Structure 1
Amino acid sequence: MSASLGTGVIIPVLTPLDPGGEVDEASLRRLLDHLLDHGVDGVFLLGTSGEFGFLTDAQRVAVVTATVRHVDGRVPVLVGISDTATARAIEQARLLLPLGADAAVATAPFFAETGPLEIGEHFRRIAEAIGDVPLLAYENPPRVNGMSIPVPLLLDLAAEGVIAGVKDSSPDQGHLLSLLAGRSARGLSALRVLSGSETAAAAAIRAGADGLVPGLGNVDPGGYVELLRLARAGDPGADALQARLTALFGIVDIAPQAPMGGSSRALGAFKAACRLLGVIAEDRCAVPSVLLGEADRAAVAAVLAAHGPAGAAAGSARAARTVGP
């Protein structure tokens, strides 16, 4: 894996959808420009923020094709190939990676209960199937039956050359710290370790993480680019910026008018904020997600105005006057 791949701020890109539920490529291009214009170091497609689990194969192909064409080599493009089992993940890899991916990202298997032996076999078989394309393991226990990928297994897979990096979205920051300590102890300096936390991003960089993969970065990419710069430099200004971004992350905790699950609420809030900023045309999430209503959008707009990037208050006010349900 190249020295720059798997470092810096890598945004797990939202998948904008049109009123018919299909990929809105015009909005996707505007979102990519929004990210690139703010200096991000890479984009990650078809992760949790990209709603991969709700998209058809054709939609996944559309996302990757449009992104690779528009990014045109300016930053690395990481592509999610996660699926319920190894053979299905390999099918996704064979479908999507030839479209121009610089790296593949996969979770542990999900739905069926698995343990370390099965998870290790899963990643080894994927790596064998994809050849020279770097593979990153995606640690995200809430999405895979609560099963964490044990740190010793991740380190073994790195030592074997199976994985080139880890995107750590574990709610337990101890997992990230143990991974960083194990990397150092075993001399695995080539292993890239990325934090998926929006609220502990500065701490992760100070602890030695190579980069950040924050879903909130779709809304405020410049904030996370600056946060990474400040944290790497040991600048105490990182703490104030982290506090602002943590407050902005409060958009995922609004009390929606209609009962909905956490995915609908969080991704709906990210998309609502991007819509209010004029980046995407619709804040629709993939079925069966429940959509935010006007009162919910107003709550998102209030948080965005108070804690968003410079100009967010004026931009969200203009957007609120011009968009409907």
Structure 2
Amino acid sequence: MRPLLADQIRGVWATLLLPITEKGEIDYARFADQLTYLAKAGVDGVYTNGTAGEFYNQTESEFDRVSALTAEISERYSLPFQLGCSHMSPIISLERLRRAVALRPSAIQVILPDWMQLSFSEICAFLEKMAAEAAPIGLVLYNPPHAKQVLSPKQWKELVSTGIPLVGCKVAAGDAGWYEEMQPVLERISVFVPGHRLATGISRGAHGSYSNVACLNPGAAVDWFHLMQSDLPKALAIEKRVLGFFEEAILPFITNQGYSNTAVDKLLAALGGWIPIGTGVRWPYRGVPEDEVSHLRTIGRKWIPEFIS
């Protein structure tokens, strides 16, 4: 797969969820089925080892097998793919990146080292090393709202001004003032925002999403993104209903019951019913019980029937 430039990373990219057996092992057959489905659903690309891919809870041999399987199937369908080489340890992340480069992904994702926060000079030193090792494959900084160190717009502007060859990022986004402050960044690299707020993001200059909404229904997520290009007011109206659904049905699992974002993304896939991933996550984390799905699906049909049949 050819490396993608910043202005080529656009649209709806689907996270590859990690199917877990009752014994706590990765079900590679279901993982492959998921990837094949996504290739046929029309997403703009896929990526491994985001939060929902449980990058923090894999052995190195598992990481290598997930990466190789993703590369094999994505190449078969000419589907752009990014390999997440994230790890809490910068050394392990670097080792993962060195092995992933050989698989020729469209881009490589990393997080900032996770045990102690970095100074700005340390952030630059980390990213410079990772980008140099990845070249000519571009680097995407995966910096969602639950990252230990979330960069501010001021830090992002400083970062892109250094000349470090980042091609993209995943961020939490913010209000109109946040987007205004991020304009120099939006002009330089691909900026992806949360899937459930993508229409607002597109209206303010964002380029796409590493999408939690694609967990729910990848085909509908793609259709919604296309609507943003042709009828943004209608797409924004759908976003209001998506947010209403998340507020009523999904956020309580995080705010009231303490489930992880990983567990919630797998719950979304179960609600969408497009692939039998299951709601289990790896020990010691909890997955949402599958007996919640039927009730939540009823709520979903009320708010967003386009996404939940």
For residues 222-279 of structure 1, the C-alpha deviation after alignment (integer angstroms, 9 at most, x for no partner) is 23222222223343211232234334435433559x95433364134124325xx151
Secondary structure of the residue that 2:140 maps to in structure 1? strand
Task: Quote the residue 2:111 is aligned against.
Answer: 107
- Aligned pairs for 1:80-91 (under 5 A) are 80-91=84-95
- Aligned pairs for 1:35-184 (under 5 A) are 35-72=38-75, 74-144=78-148, 147-159=149-161, 160-170=163-173, 174-179=177-182, 181-183=183-185
Count the aligned residue pairs: 302
1:243 correspondence with 2:245: no
Decide whether the 8 Å contact of 2:202 with 2:228 is kept in 1.
yes
Inter-partner Cα distance in structure 1 for 2:307 and 2:176: 33
Decide whether the 8 Å contact of 2:11 with 2:44 is kept in 1.
yes
Q: Which of 222, 244, 253 does residue 219 from structure 2 map onto?
A: 222
Identical amino acids, percent of aligned pairs: 21
Decide whether the 8 Å contact of 1:35 with 1:218 is kept in 2.
no
For residues 35-89 of structure 1, the C-alpha deviation after alignment (integer angstroms, 9 at most, x for no partner) is 2333110111101121111222222222222222112252211111122243222
Inter-partner Cα distance in structure 2 for 1:27 and 1:172: 38
- Give the 3 Å change call, closer, same or farther, for CA 100–288 of structure 1 in structure 2: farther
For residues 165-218 of structure 1, the C-alpha deviation after alignment (integer angstroms, 9 at most, x for no partner) is 122135677545422x1236xxxx4521111x1332101001111112212212
Question: What is the letter of the counterpart of residue 288 of structure 1?
Answer: P
Question: What is the letter of the counterpart of residue 11 of structure 1?
Answer: A
Task: Quote the residue 2:283 is aligned against.
Answer: 287
What RMSD, in angstroms, separates the aligned Cα atoms of the two structures? 2.8
Instruction: With the length of structure 1 as denominator, give the TM-score of the two structures.
Output: 0.81
Instruction: With the length of structure 2 as denominator, give the TM-score of the two structures.
Output: 0.85
Task: Quote the residue 1:321 is aligned against.
Answer: none
Inter-partner Cα distance in structure 1 for 2:227 and 2:117: 41
Decide whether the 8 Å contact of 2:14 with 2:43 is kept in 1.
yes
Report how far residue 22 of structure 1 moved.
2.2
Question: What is the letter of the counterpart of residue 265 of structure 2?
Answer: L
Task: Quote the residue 1:319 is aligned against.
Answer: none
Inter-partner Cα distance in structure 1 for 2:252 and 2:145: 24
- Give the 3 Å change call, closer, same or farther, for CA 177–45 of structure 1 in structure 2: farther
Question: What is the letter of the counterpart of residue 214 of structure 1?
Answer: S
Question: What is the letter of the counterpart of residue 78 of structure 2?
Answer: R
Task: Quote the residue 1:320 is aligned against.
Answer: none
Question: What is the letter of the counterpart of residue 103 of structure 1?
Answer: A
Decide whether the 8 Å contact of 1:108 with 1:149 is kept in 2.
no
- Give the 3 Å change call, closer, same or farther, for CA 110–241 of structure 1 in structure 2: same
- Give the 3 Å change call, closer, same or farther, for CA 82–8 of structure 1 in structure 2: same
Decide whether the 8 Å contact of 2:18 with 2:53 is kept in 1.
yes
1:15 correspondence with 2:18: yes
1:212 correspondence with 2:209: yes
- Give the 3 Å change call, closer, same or farther, for CA 291–97 of structure 1 in structure 2: same
Decide whether the 8 Å contact of 2:48 with 2:83 is kept in 1.
yes
